[in-house]
Amino acid sequence: MRKTRSNSLADVKVKTDLVSAARSGASMTGCGFNAAVNGTANPSSHRGGTLVFDNSGDWDSTDPGNSYVAYAWNFARLYTRTLTTYSAKAGSGAEELVPDLARDLGEVSPDRRTWTYRLKPNLRMEDGELITSYMIKHAVERSASYSDTLPIGPVYWRTFLASFGDSGEDTSGTGEQVGISTPDPLTIVFHLRRPMAEFDHLVSMPQTAPVPPAKDTGTEYYRHPLSSGPYMFDHYVTGKQLTLVRNPQWDPSTDPARKQLVDKIVVNLNVDADEIDERLFTGRSHLAVEGGGVQHRGQARIMASPALRSNADNPTNGFVWYAAINTVIPPLDNVHCRRAVLYAADHVALQEAFGGSAGGEIVSTMLPQTIPGAPPETFDPYGFHSKPRGDLKKAAAALAEGGCPDGFATAISFRNNRPKEQAAAEALRDSLARVGIKADLLGYPSGEIDVYPGTPAFVHENNLGINITGWGSDWPSGFGFLHAICHGDAILPTSNSNISELNDPLVNALLDVVMTIESATERHDIYRRVAERITEQAAFLPIVHSRSLVFRNPDVTNVRVSSALQMHDYAVMGLRPASKTDETTR
């Protein structure tokens, strides 16, 4: 009875959606389910209109050198350009690297430790200043020199650039950052400690977006980072709204990956997640900027309505939802206690938390099958597939071997504006209680991930042994996925992405050597070995390899899922003529 009643109410709600959408001027007739996965939905060159996004939180930072969230990097391509970027092709072609600010991909020395890029001439910042190699040098250095002012972002620069020690400070004795040289205004040279086979991918990150040194306002730069892309900041009120407008200095003839179709882009911030779905279905906004898909009620409404379904995409996006299990907080510093968590987990309940099969498939390894080197699907040492509700006998045995036969107490964190993460935390808490593991729950704002699970001191003080989160590859390779979450060098005092604090000598050694190997096939074999090793160490509980049921307003044009960006490509979107939406959160 409950199921029947639920479906009936969903049908009524869908009809209400369609009536509301018609009144708002948005027709819900779309171009087909998954139309943007391997192709382009609503291709168009029409110019004009205001593209409206909603965000259930706020950015970690809009400063391109101080950000480490996937959707923030995707959105930043609207107001930044980098040395390289990913093509604007649909489907798997989106993984193709193309020159962006640079004229070509990097020129590498015979020892593969020096990479040279030459810039396209006459490119300008939003204020008309010519873009130079000095601006890019400054941008990388300000991000790489770890400090309390710009703590967020990847550690690759400090790992590979020749002059950076573990603290990000100059170690050359010259007082200069000799890891980067600029022979002339249009040439930038990176000098590395050791070969880095995928360096062209590294310079596609927003940390290479130019920052004029004289206009760098430090901790305040996020309020108005100067644009090198097709749009520039108009106003940004943190926690409320961000508005971008056209950048008149952007030259489309030099840009292979972006368009400048709409007049303005508005992002409403801190909108309730379920309200975002309602606004999408009734035509009051165009897209949810976080790219994680609609919530549970929204999923049911889409699947119950052919009209809504025709405006939805459900790609396997390369992300993994998982629980990071801290390897240094007692008793989880004992591998047997960590294994007990994996054995006790109810994988069906965890999958349901993320929307069932529409949200992703139950998996037993962190590395997605979309990345070469992933272990085969038959790799299942903890029986996730054979006993998807958990193996309580093995969990109890592991607890006994770890010296905790009666269980132990810990805490589980999650982002409290993301209902799926909260549902997963609750499901895991209930799973673990079956074997005596008592877990308290701690929710925190999504924009504060660097303050809560990303700060080891806070994690230790609050006994945060388990943290629900998600991860996608920094670039489409095993190294781009694995290094930041499981190498000991990635453990930082804040903005720590290695939330498990895994510092395993074998994992570190494999990831240290892999970038010196020229053969991609050999690198893939090492990625498989790392993925199997971190599974053996039980530092991660993979939940699902994510599928996002994402709704796109039918007025949005040039919608395509980028396999490199792992969501819709925001930098090419436009609107149909006479599209109207509500630019406010209410």
Residue 23 class from Cβ within 10 Å (0-12 exposed, 13-18 middle, 19+ buried)? exposed
CA distances for 155 relative to 165, 242, 488, angstroms? 11, 28, 11
Q: Convert the pLDDT of each residue in 418-466 to its tens digit.
A: 899 999 999 999 999 999 999 999 999 876 777 789 899 999 999 999 9
CATH 3.10.105.10 region(s) of the chain? 316-547
Provide the pLDDT for residue 584: 62
As separate numbers, helices (DSSP H) first and strands (DSSP E) second, the chain gives: 16, 23
Q: What is the mean pLDDT of residues 187-213?
A: 96
Phi, psi of 136 (to 5 degrees): -70, -40
Query: Which is nearest to 265 in space by CA: 240, 235, 239?
Result: 235
Amino acid type, 227: S
Quote the tokens at residue 321. 């939802």
Confidence at 153, pLDDT banded by 50, 70, 90: confident
Given a cut of 90, whether residue 373 has pLDDT beyond it is yes
The yes or no reply on domain 70-223 and CATH 3.30.830.10 is: no
CA 542 to chain centre: 16
Among 90-94, 145-149, 449-453, 532-536, the range with the most confident prediction by mean pLDDT is 532-536
Lowest mean pLDDT among 169-183, 351-365, 468-482, 490-504: 169-183
Taking alpha carbons only, the member of 461, 465, 469, 427 closest to residue 444 is 469
Q: Report which of 215, 218, 145, 195 is spatially closest to residue 175, judged by C-alpha positions.
A: 145
* Interatomic CA distance for residues 581 and 515, integer angstroms: 47
What integer pLDDT is reported at residue 166 of this predicted model? 44
DSSP 91: B
Query: What's the pLDDT score for residue 6?
Result: 32
Count the neighbouring beta carbons within 10 Å of the beta carbon of residue 519: 9
Name the percent of the chain in helix, strand, coil, to the closest 5.
30, 20, 50
| Element housing 353 (H / E) | helix 347-353
pLDDT surpassing 80 at residue 491: yes
What average pLDDT does this structure show over 322-351?
98
Mean pLDDT of the chain: 90
Indicate the angle between helix axes 273-281 and 2-24, nearest 10 degrees: 60
Poorest-confidence range of 92-96, 336-340, 373-377, 506-510? 92-96
Q: Check whether 250 has a pLDDT greater than 50.
A: yes
Give span(s): CATH 3.40.190.10, the chain.
70-223
Say whether pLDDT at 148 is over 70: no
Using 50, 70 and 90 to split pLDDT, how confident is the model at 581?
confident
Q: Give the Cα separation of 154 and 205 in Å (integer).
A: 9
**CB distance 186 to 119 below 8 Å:** yes
Distances (CA, A) of 444 to 1, 254, 317, 464: 37, 42, 25, 12
Q: For residue 333, what pLDDT band results from cuts at 50, 70 and 90?
A: very high
The pLDDT value given to residue 449: 74
Predicted confidence (pLDDT) at residue 468 exceeds the cutoff of 50: yes
Average pLDDT over residues 327-342: 98
pLDDT given for residue 583 in this prediction:
65
The tens digit of pLDDT for each residue in 255-296 reads 999 999 999 999 999 999 999 999 999 999 999 999 989 998
Long-range contacts of 384-387 (CB under 8 A, 24+ apart): 384/347
pLDDT band, very low/low/confident/very high, at 204 (cuts 50, 70, 90): very high
Question: Stretch 119-147: mean pLDDT, rounded?
Answer: 93
Contacting residues for 193 by C-beta, under 8 A, at least 6 apart: 113, 159, 160, 161, 162
> Hey, what are 316's tokens?
């396997």
Peptide bond into 195 cis (omega under 30): no
What gap in Å lies between CA 19 and CA 15, rounded to an integer?
Answer: 6
pLDDT tens figures, 79-88: 999 999 999 8
What per-residue confidence (pLDDT) applies to 14?
A: 38
Q: Tell me the CA distances in angstroms from 18 to 28, 278, 282, 287, one per residue in order.
A: 7, 11, 7, 17
Give the pLDDT confidence of 522-549 residue by residue, as tens digits: 999 999 999 999 999 999 999 999 888 9
Question: Residue 146: what pLDDT?
Answer: 61
Q: Is the pLDDT of residue 2 over 60?
A: no
Q: pLDDT at position 116, please? A: 98
Place of tokens 């892309």: 229
226 secondary structure, DSSP code:
P
Are 534 and 366 in contact by the 8 Å Cβ rule? The answer is yes
Residue 29 has pLDDT above 80, yes or no: no
Candidates 541, 542, 543, 547; CA nearest to 357 is 547
Query: Using CB atoms within 10 A of its CB, is residue 166 exposed (0-12), middle (13-18) or buried (19+)?
Result: exposed
CATH among 3.30.590.10, 3.40.50.920, 3.10.105.10, 3.20.20.140 for 316-547: 3.10.105.10
Quote the tokens at residue 201.
Answer: 């991918």
540 with 366: CB under 8 angstroms? yes
Choose the weakest-confidence range: 168-177, 277-286, 495-504.
Answer: 168-177
For the residues 202-209, what does the mean pLDDT come to? Answer: 97
- For the cut 60, the answer to whether the pLDDT of residue 157 exceeds it is yes
Which of the four pLDDT bands, split at 50, 70 and 90, describes residue 17?
A: very low
Q: Which residues of 444-456 are buried (b: 16+ CB within 10 A; e: fewer)?
A: bbbbbbbebbbbb
Answer yes or no: is pLDDT of 165 > 60. Answer: no
Distance of CA 379 to the CA centre of its chain: 26
